[in-house]
Amino acid sequence: MSLHYQYADMHCDTLLHGLGKGVNDIYDMPDAMLDIKRMAEANVLCQFFAVFFPPRPEMLTPQEREKRLKAGRSEMPPDEELFSNAVRLMQDSFAAHKDVISQAYCFDDVMKNKEQGLISGVLTVEDGRMVNGSFDRLEQLAKTGVRAIALTWNFENCFGAPNSRDPKIMSKGLSAFGKEAIEAMNELGILVDVSHLSDGGFYDVAKISKKPFVATHSDCRALAAHPRNLTDDMIRLLAQKGGVSGFNFAPAFLDDTQGNKTSRISDMVRHVKHFIEIGGEDCVGIGTDFDGIGGNLEVGEPGRLTLLFEALEKAGITPRQIDKIASGNVLRVMKETMRPRFE
């Protein structure tokens, strides 16, 4: 089914899913939430593809390591190798289906691809740990095509502290390198992503960044008290800075009721309306987190977003507003932050 609203999704973990399955093409992956084939069928405009770096064994507790082994999760290669493998998988897949999808580096690329009937794929990084405190590495990532970096995942790294239920960790800000890196990312055309970052880090980014920044996949903490979600104050500040939060489809981010494992469209609508009420219609976009979440998902693949858009219309969100939520807000931020391909 073709969507009435073309959408731009700021986050998926499909590349890691593909690597874990040992595939060499992400066009047709029935066991994934997202693949190029279903994106084309749903008339998707733009998809951000994250390279996520799973925690290394030494970062886990003995209990966590044992749990991973029992779950049959294989260890991923070193970060540099994992990144290269993920980029190769994405680019090889795009090359094999160049009549369907093309890599985009900036807003103009997305517009050109749209004119040619192509989906745009944007390369991003989730967890900036592989930067390892190097400005040269940041520049190399930009030249490779990375156009957004989530500064942290759930562990401290060279950028600063992650989100946490521990108030001491949550209050920590960016490192000295992290503060300088924000300015460097602004200049390099790399979008700053505060999803997974500590509250203290969020406020540092808001203070330092001269360009809009984003939370690629976060919801409203006032509605679901998960530390990955944004407080009302953060939403207001994000909006004031011209940024966008892509609302996440994960059950626990939408409804923090103990034991909840269902991602409901009705809860998505609540969060979207709250974003609009607190930050205005320009501060919310889509960040599905496809292939990075589990549970019972009412919207678990691209084609089902039409159900979400229908629900938003029924809830009184106007078509103009839905168009902004679906893609307009993300495209605006891309236009203001990302730069063309380095020659």
Task: Provide the CATH number for the domain around residue 178.
Answer: 3.20.20.140
Contacts for 22-30: CB closer than 8 Å, 24+ residues apart: 23/89, 24/89, 24/92, 25/89, 25/92, 25/93, 25/96, 26/89, 26/90, 26/93, 27/93, 27/96, 27/97, 27/100
Q: Does 94 fall in a domain?
A: yes
Q: Does 263 fall in a domain?
A: yes
Domain count for the chain, please give it. 1
- Angle among Cα 48, 65, 56 to the nearest 5 degrees reads 45
Confidence at residue 264, expressed as pLDDT on a 0 to 100 scale: 98
Q: Does 36 fall in a domain?
A: yes
Give CA–CA dist 96/113, Å, rounded: 16
Cβ neighbours of 136 (radius 10 Å): 8
Predicted confidence (pLDDT) per residue in 38-89, tens digit = 999 999 999 999 999 988 777 777 776 677 666 555 677 899 999 999 999 9
Give whole-number Cα distances, 238 to 106, 215, 244, 246, in Å: 21, 9, 7, 12
CB contact set of 110 (below 8 Å; sequence gap of 6+):
8, 45, 46, 104, 120, 331, 334
Evaluate whether 268 touches 314 at the Cβ level (below 8 Å).
no
User: Which carries the bigger pLDDT value, residue 274 or residue 61?
Assistant: 274
CA atoms within 13 A on the CB side of 324: 16
Low-confidence winner among 70-79, 129-138, 261-270 (lowest mean pLDDT): 70-79
Q: Does 38 fall in a domain?
A: yes
Confidence at residue 73, expressed as pLDDT on a 0 to 100 scale: 59
Give CA–CA dist 292/13, Å, rounded: 5
Domain, as residue range, for 68: 8-337
Q: Give the global pTM.
A: 0.95
Predicted confidence (pLDDT) per residue in 153-204, tens digit = 999 999 999 999 999 999 999 999 999 999 999 999 999 999 999 999 999 9
Q: Does 1 fall in a domain?
A: no
Strands, DSSP E only, in the chain? Answer: 8-9, 46-52, 101-103, 119-126, 146-150, 191-193, 214-215, 244-247, 262-263, 284-286, 296-297
Q: Does 317 fall in a domain?
A: yes
Q: Does 3 fall in a domain?
A: no
CA 176 to mean position of chain CA atoms: 25
Q: Does 262 fall in a domain?
A: yes
